[in-house]
Copies of this chain bind each other. A is one copy, B any other.
Amino acid sequence: MAGARVVKKQSLPEMIASDLRERILSGELAEGEAIRQELLAEEYDVSRMPVREALKRLNAEGLVLWENNRGGSVVKHSLPEIGEIFDLRLLIELDLFRRSIPQMGEADFATCERILTEMENSDDISQWGKLNYSYHMALYAAADRRMSNEFLERLSLHSDRYVRIHLSVMKQREPAKEEHRQLLALARNGEVAAGTALLEQHILRTKTELLEMIAAQRKTPSR
């Protein structure tokens, strides 16, 4: 047979949405920035129709604000809202980790290991968010909770967005690396209580650091 590897055929709107998502997460499209359909259509060399669908999609995901007859703009969250995103992640991830640990097998541990080394070797910031998300998902894969994962994906999208913008300045990475290793070790030993406690600390620490950074940056509208 010709093609052994099959990549799920993406539709045009999907591909455009993926790219725009990345452009928003990376900060290339800034908070509050207006989005012109025509302009994007030219950039992607398509008509406005698939661009429109992509934007509506991102609107449903909460990344794009849509106003009737005025078009879209990049969503800007308030500080409390960003805090909430992390609180919700906390709720769902703790639940997932608690359910996952007892179900994890050698294959799961191996996958986690693999992603972990990949993270430690990669310096590409734009990859970090994806890898971080993959790792967390790998930890929860054994729980086999489709809906939770779907919701978590959306939450991670938003938290990654703000983490990535400030990541370069954040000390974030060193402690996170250590915590990731420990999470896996605790999961391996089936230590649910200790594992979830560490996970909680892991997420809340990021939340605190991030909120401080953003608060400071929003005080000084310079730059």
Contacts and interface: CB of A to CB of B under 8 A. Distances in A.
Given A56-B53, A56-B56, A95 B85 contact: no
Nearest to A90: B95
Contact of A88 (B53, B144, B151): B151
Contacts of A61: 60
A8 to B, nearest CB: 9
Given A60-B61, A68-B11, A147 B84 contact: yes
A114 interface: no
A141 to B, nearest CB: 15
Each complex incorporates copies of this chain amounting to 2
Contacts of A95: 87, 91
Residue picked from A9, A62, A88, A92, most chain B C-beta under 10 Å: A88
A150 interface: yes
Interface residues of A, number: 27
A100 to B, nearest CB: 14
Interface in A111-168: 144-148, 150-151
A57 interface: yes
A218 B95 CA distance: 28
